């Protein structure tokens, strides 16, 4: 084993100096590509020895600016060729702020360290570190990396991080934000993001209205790409479209009939928010009774997302219909599915 | 045609500017033989400057390893060497161009600030998901703001219609076919796979592009598959790695310094299963092209 480790060390140091002889190469490969390709051809015991050599290199190469490029390579390799030694060294570097100020080949070492540390697993220390280190940062790229990394924890910390992310959001970062959110929502499911919207977005919007709008647009873009696989993506989409007054009554009726697929309290909250944000005429309907209901108008069927305790009298229907938002009115030629099972009173 | 005829032709074209020994060094390795063929084809078509070639070959030494890699290093060290690449470009074609990229290379070039690992299957799957779609509509790539380039500040492209035609006929093995027909030569194996995607350019995109020459090819990486061809309406032609497929028309254009716009779209191609290259078939094709040249 010891012999193998020293052989691998020699090979790694040599590759870091640009000599890739003896390593498998594909066109356009970076140094870490070749090293990892080589690692993947090894037996399990040799892989352990190789990973130990990576750890040794991480601890022995002085953390100076002139070695920043070597650390970029080594950290990429350490993400695949893992060892307990590398995990400890990387965390130490992170907590000591070593490499923090360096950038090499457009890779920010501070970000690289966070991502690499997280690839060894997220625990409370690392999650706290990520929140702490981001709290006062305006670096949106760093924060987007943190957002993605936190999704690996498979809990609510990723959604919770949105509050930390928001102040750094800019128009330029909107596309990458949407891409990152899609990755996170795909991994975690969309429920925690809907819950976050309900619990925190209004308060944050007071302080950062522009940023929260960009975040919502990105959430909407991402949710719409996940519609087929996640019912909560549909709910996020409906809520954010409603804010833009861009949904029809049929869609709301669909949502209103979703229980028991989704939590009823969450659904009620969603419907309440939709009503509040998009459809003023709903103010005529008692807040506690916001659910779906079909009723008929002499000129044709009209679907209203709201349930009243008792059928509305014709006299009361008339002003509601007159003032209904266009998006709440289905085509007069199209009969709604009155057989759809709507939530009972 | 054979090596000795190529050797004589090269010596004649360079007319005493280099020594016989230096020319001989090229023929010690298959990449050098391929390089000699390309040089002959391009010089006899006046596409590259004989004086520059003589200067580059003049740097090759017996004890410094592969002649083609020495040639690459010498080419790389020429001041303003980029002026030798993508020469005589012309404005485009009405259809769009297409660039093939390995997702791992895309990560290394364009995802630096987001620290994706080009060898981590999870990261590759994420990048594939967010930048490349299975449908031809693709994903808009307007947020690629880093200079759109390849090695040496040039980008290799081919016709969108070629890609579309191939995709329709050969959708199942598209990645393998492109890997072979375009001379990409990824040797990937099931446990070391390479995933390919394309970036489709907008039609009528105003970018001048040129027929590639020897100076555009990468002579630093061994086992390449580039082969020059006589002038043909400013299009080059790729060389199949296995010799079993027809090459396709190719061009090079200079880098796009400001990155891409949303009119450029990413489409996923598939996973290559590797190939068994036949370097001799590339040489045979080279001999054919040189013969056609004369």
Q: What is the pLDDT of residues B170-226, one digit of tens each?
A: 878 999 999 999 999 998 777 678 999 999 999 988 899 999 999 999 998 877 899
> Which segments of B177-232 are extended strands (E)?
194-200, 209-210
CA–CA separation, A139 and A151 (whole Å): 19
CA–CA separation, B73 and B94 (whole Å): 37
- Mean pLDDT value of segment A128-143: 94
CA–CA separation, B141 and B106 (whole Å): 12
In sequence order, the 6+-apart residues with CB closer than 8 A to the CB of A97 are: none
pLDDT digits (tens, 9 = 90+) for B25-84: 999 889 999 999 999 999 999 999 999 999 999 999 888 888 999 999 999 999 888 899
Average pLDDT value for chain A: 81
DSSP 8-state code for residue B173: G
Per the listing, tokens 């001989």 go with: B24
CA–CA separation, A110 and A112 (whole Å): 5
How far CA A141 is from CA of A50, A156, B73, in Å, comes to: 32, 21, 36
User: Is pLDDT of A314 > 70?
Assistant: no
Choose the closest CB to B191 out of A40, A112, A186: A40
Of A300 and A44, more confident: A44
Q: Would you state the structure tokens that stand for residue B4, as one six-digit string?
A: 């000795």
The reported pTM is 0.85
Kindly give the residue spans of alpha helices, DSSP state H, lying in chain A. Answer: 2-16, 31-40, 44-60, 68-80, 84-96, 109-119, 124-134, 140-151, 157-160, 162-165, 174-188, 191-196, 202-207, 209-225, 231-243, 249-256, 264-278, 314-323
pLDDT value of residue A250:
59
CA–CA separation, A116 and A63 (whole Å): 16
Nearest of A263, A266, A268 to residue A306 by alpha carbon = A268
Q: How far is CA A132 from the centre of its chain?
A: 19
Cβ–Cβ below 8 Å for B130 and A76: no
Cβ–Cβ below 8 Å for A111 and B113: yes
Phi/psi for B43 (5° steps) reads -70, -40
pLDDT value of residue A147:
98
pLDDT digits (tens, 9 = 90+) for A190-236: 999 999 999 999 999 999 999 999 999 999 999 999 988 899 998 99
Average pLDDT value for chain B: 92
Residues in chain A with CB shorter than 8 Å from the CB of B31 are: none
H or E element in which residue B139 lies: strand B139-140
DSSP 8-state code for residue B143: T
CA–CA separation, A194 and A191 (whole Å): 5
pLDDT value of residue B181:
96
* Domains defined along chain A, listed by start: 1-121 (1.25.40)
DSSP 8-state code for residue B202: P
CA–CA separation, B227 and B258 (whole Å): 31
- Mean pLDDT value of segment B136-162: 93
Q: Would you state the structure tokens that stand for residue B285, as one six-digit string?
A: 């094709």
Of B19 and A165, more confident: A165
pLDDT value of residue A303:
42
Per the listing, tokens 């959430």 go with: A219
Residues B35 and B219: beta-carbon distance below 8 Å: yes
User: Is pLDDT of A290 > 50?
Assistant: no
Residues in A 4-63 with any Cβ partner in B closer than 8 A: 24-30, 32-33, 36-37, 40-41
The DSSP code sequence of A298-334 is TTEEEEES---SSPPPHHHHHHHHHH--GGG---TTS
Confidence of residue A242 (pLDDT cuts 50, 70, 90): confident
User: Counting beta carbons within 10 angstroms of the beta carbon of residue B80, is it exposed (0 to 12), middle (13 to 18) or buried (19 or more)?
Assistant: exposed
Q: Which residue of A has its CA nearest to B151?
A: A28
Confidence of residue A3 (pLDDT cuts 50, 70, 90): low
Cβ–Cβ below 8 Å for B114 and A186: no
Residues in chain A with CB shorter than 8 Å from the CB of B115 are: 107-108, 111-112, 115, 145
Domains of chain B, residue spans = 3-87, 97-279
The reply to whether omega before A321 is within 30° of 0 (cis) is no
The residues with which B251 forms a beta bridge, in sequence order, are: B157
Q: How far is B213 from chain A (nearest CA, A)?
A: 19
Residues B60 and B29: beta-carbon distance below 8 Å: no
Confidence of residue A296 (pLDDT cuts 50, 70, 90): very low
- Mean pLDDT value of segment B121-131: 95
In sequence order, the 6+-apart residues with CB closer than 8 A to the CB of B274 are: B186, B187, B188, B189
Residues in B 144-173 with any Cβ partner in A closer than 8 A: 146, 150-151
Cβ–Cβ below 8 Å for B113 and A27: no
User: Counting beta carbons within 10 angstroms of the beta carbon of residue A290, is it exposed (0 to 12), middle (13 to 18) or buried (19 or more)?
Assistant: buried
How many degrees, rounded to 5, is the angle at CA B99 between CA B97 and CA B101?
A: 165
Per the listing, tokens 């969603």 go with: A270
Phi/psi for B265 (5° steps) reads -130, 150
In sequence order, the 6+-apart residues with CB closer than 8 A to the CB of B22 are: B57, B58, B60
In sequence order, the 6+-apart residues with CB closer than 8 A to the CB of B155 are: B99, B148, B149, B252, B253, B254, B255, B256
User: Is pLDDT of A316 > 60?
Assistant: no
CA–CA separation, A84 and B278 (whole Å): 44
Q: Would you state the structure tokens that stand for residue A191, as one six-digit string?
A: 């429920």
């Amino acid at each position: 084993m010891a012999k193998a480790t020293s052989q691998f060390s020699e090979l790694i140091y040599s590759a870091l100096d640009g000599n890739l002889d003896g390593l498998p190469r594909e066109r356009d490969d970076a140094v870490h590509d070749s090293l990892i390709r080589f690692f993947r051809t090894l037996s399990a015991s040799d892989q352990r020895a190789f990973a130990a050599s990576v750890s040794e290199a991480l601890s022995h190469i002085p953390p100076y600016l002139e070695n920043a490029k070597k650390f970029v390579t080594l950290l990429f390799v350490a993400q695949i060729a893992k060892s307990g030694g590398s995990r400890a060294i990387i965390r130490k570097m992170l907590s000591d702020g070593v490499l923090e100020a360096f950038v090499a080949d457009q890779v920010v070492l501070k970000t690289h360290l966070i991502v690499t540390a997280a690839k060894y697993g997220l625990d409370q220390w690392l999650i706290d570190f990520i929140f702490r280190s981001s709290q006062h940062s305006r670096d949106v790229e760093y924060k987007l990396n943190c957002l993605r990394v936190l999704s690996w924890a498979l809990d609510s910390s990723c959604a919770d991080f949105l509050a930390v992310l928001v102040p750094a959001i800019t128009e330029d970062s909107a596309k990458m934000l949407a891409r990152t959110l899609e990755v996170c929502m795909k991994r975690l499911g969309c429920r925690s993001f809907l819950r976050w919207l309900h619990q925190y977005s209004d308060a944050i919007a007071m302080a950062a209205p522009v940023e929260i709008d960009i975040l919502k647009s990105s959430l909407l873009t991402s949710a719409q790409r996940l519609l087929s696989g996640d019912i909560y993506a549909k709910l996020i989409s409906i809520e954010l479209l409603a804010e833009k007054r861009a949904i029809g009554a049929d869609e709301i009726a669909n949502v209103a009939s979703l229980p028991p697929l989704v939590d009823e309290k969450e659904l009620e909250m969603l419907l309440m928010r939709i009503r509040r944000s998009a459809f003023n005429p709903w103010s005529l309907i008692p807040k506690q009774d916001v659910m779906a209901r079909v009723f008929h108008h002499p000129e044709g069927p009209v679907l209203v997302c709201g349930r009243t305790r008792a059928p509305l009298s014709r006299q009361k229907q008339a002003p509601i219909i007159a003032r209904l938002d266009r998006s709440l009115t289905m085509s007069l030629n199209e009969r709604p599915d009155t057989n759809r099972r709507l939530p009972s009173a | 045609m054979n090596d000795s005829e190529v050797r004589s032709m090269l010596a004649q074209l360079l007319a005493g500017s280099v020594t016989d020994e230096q020319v001989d060094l090229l023929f010690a390795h298959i990449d050098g033989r391929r390089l000699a063929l390309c040089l002959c084809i391009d010089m006899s078509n006046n596409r590259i400057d004989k004086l520059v070639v003589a200067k580059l070959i003049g740097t090759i030494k017996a004890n410094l390893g592969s002649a083609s890699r020495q040639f690459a290093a010498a080419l790389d060290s020429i001041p303003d060497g980029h002026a030798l690449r993508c020469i005589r470009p012309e404005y485009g074609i009405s259809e769009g161009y297409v660039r093939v990229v390995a997702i791992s290379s895309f990560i290394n070039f364009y995802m630096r600030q987001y620290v994706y690992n080009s060898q981590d299957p999870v990261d590759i799957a994420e990048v594939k998901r967010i930048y490349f779609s299975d449908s031809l509509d693709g994903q808009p790539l307007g947020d690629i703001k880093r200079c759109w380039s390849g090695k040496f500040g040039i980008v290799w492209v081919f016709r969108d219609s070629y890609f579309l035609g191939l995709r329709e006929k050969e959708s199942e093995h598209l990645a393998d076919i492109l890997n072979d027909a375009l001379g990409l030569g990824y040797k990937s194996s099931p446990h070391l796979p390479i995933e390919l995607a394309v970036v489709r350019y907008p039609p009528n995109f105003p970018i001048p592009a040129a027929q590639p020459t020897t100076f555009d090819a990468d002579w630093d990486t061994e086992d390449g598959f580039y082969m020059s061809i006589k002038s043909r309406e400013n299009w080059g032609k790729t060389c199949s790695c296995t010799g079993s497929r027809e090459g396709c028309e190719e061009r090079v254009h200079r880098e796009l310094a400001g990155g891409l716009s949303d009119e450029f779209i990413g489409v996923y191609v598939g996973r290559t299963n590797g190939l068994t290259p036949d370097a001799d078939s590339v040489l045979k094709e080279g001999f054919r092209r040189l013969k056609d040249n004369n």
